[in-house]
Each structure stands twice: as structure tokens, then as C-alpha cells.
Amino acid sequence: MPDACFSHSRLAQVYDPLDPDRSDLETYVNLATEFGAETVLDVGCGTGEFIARLVDMDVSALGVDPAAASLQVAQPKLKPGSAELVIGTASDVADDNARRHSFDMATMTANVAQVFLDNEEWLSTLRAIRLCLRTGGRLVFETRDPADRAWERWTKEATHRTVELGDLGVVEEWIETTNVEREFVTFVSPTIFHLDGERIDSTSTLRFRPRSVLGQTLSETGFTRVEVHDLPYAPSRGWLFIATAGS
């Protein structure tokens, strides 16, 4: 079940205007160009910001996400027939034989790679992505370095803000960590719509897997060469993984 911040229709509507700086996506755009990717699978595509950029590059793209509300926000960004959006998971895409081994590149941007809390869920997602990639295709994703302890900065005092969103009125939000247990970090994201006073709380949990474990799971699921780089837009705070699909 997707978190409310993605699956609730009112929260999905304000997701982009509340987070307009998507300079993080430049890394993925640059890699798609560097790899000469003609077909890209974006796993957890959300409101379609990366898919829209791929379309502008004349790349054939498929975005998959279990949150229908987010895909409803994504659809108007795309020219008719320019890309495909699927409600579901990477496994749903891999189950379609016509889509197997058809992508040059697969991506999980932002926090997508950390939402898979269960080990088997993570491994099955990687296996599905491998089935979707042609041999030699690349999987690119990012994840936060646990040593940075990002959750300690997720406080109401540090993240609280009130934003005027035109016809949507004034919207207030913040992020606050509520629980840290081993590799699992849970936080709440309240959003208050001043137009009518409605408050919607979205609770999320992310898993902060060690770098060595991530590398091992990639090897176990059919990826050969694995490169790990410092995250370009957040140096020393996260890793950028680039894994090549083996034969």
C-alpha cells in the first residue's frame, strides 16, 4: 500500500508544487544520454517528473507506480502517446512477456529504493527489473548513507514551512521522525490545507541498507558490474548505484 503522500488525491495534487526543485533528476537525465538509452523503465515514477523529461528527450519511457493518484497527476504532463504509465510494480511489468528484456535502462529515483522494507520484496523487485532489462542494460538508483543519519534532521523545527499555492490556497507541512529501529526509520508528514482546515498525515518508513548489502543483493539478482558513486546532488549523504544486467 503506497504512503498517503502518494496515494491520497489531495496530497498528490500538491506534491510537485511543495517540492519544485527536482535538480536531483539531472543525474538520471545525464546518464540516460551517456548510455544512449532509447527505452527507460522508471520504477516508482510518482507524479511523472522524470518521465516528462525523458519524453522531451524523445526517449521511449514506461513509468510504473502503485499509487493511482500520483499517476493521475503525471498523465497531463505527457503528450498523448508519448509514454506509458502503469498502475502497479516492477513485477507487473516483468509479467508481461512482451516487455521482458526490452529496456536499455531502469531507474529508481529519490527514495524509491528505500521503500522496500522486506528483504524478499526488495529481491523480487530487483529480479523483475533484471527481467525487464536487455543484457548490458543498466539499473540506476540512489539510496541514503546510514552514516549521515539524515533522520536526525527530520524535525518540525528544521522542516516546517507554509506555502501559498494559488488556487489551492495556503498549505502548511513538515516532516518529523517518529521511530528509529535498526535500519528502519519511520516519519510522519502532516499537511494542512488552510483553505478548509483539513489536515492529512502521511506516515512513511524507509530502510537504510548498508552499501555492502545493496551490492550483494544486486549480485544475487543477475547484475554483474556494480558501480557506486557519491550522490552528485548530495555529496557525502548518499550513494548512486549503477548496475549492469548480466547475461
Which tens digits make up the pLDDT trace of 182-234? 999 999 999 999 999 999 999 999 999 999 999 999 999 999 999 999 999 99
Per-residue pLDDT reduced to its tens digit, 9-49: 999 999 999 999 999 999 999 999 999 999 999 999 999 99
Q: Provide CB contacts within 8 A for 227, sequence distance 6+.
A: 241, 242, 243
Phi, psi for residue 184 in degrees, rounded to 5: -105, 130
CA–CA dist 164, 17 (Å, integer) = 10
2-6, 40-44, 118-122: the lowest-pLDDT one? 2-6
Percent of the residues in the chain that have a pLDDT greater than 90, as a whole number: 96
Q: Return d(Cα 41, Cα 49) in angstroms, integer.
A: 13
Strand, coil or helix: 112 = helix
* Average pLDDT of the segment spanning 115-132: 98
Cα–Cα distances in angstroms (integers) from residue 212 to residues 47, 108, 181, 209, 226, in the given order:
31, 19, 20, 8, 11
What is the pLDDT averaged over residues 163-182?
97
Answer whether residue 60 shows pLDDT above 80. yes
pLDDT at position 119 over 80: yes
Closest CA to 149 of 214, 22, 236, 19: 236
For the chain, the 3-state helix, strand and coil shares in percent, each to the nearest 5, are 40, 35, 30
How far is Cα 38 from Cα 49, in angstroms, rounded to an integer?
18
pTM of the model: 0.97
Percent pLDDT > 70 in the chain is 100
In this model, does residue 82 exceed pLDDT 90? no
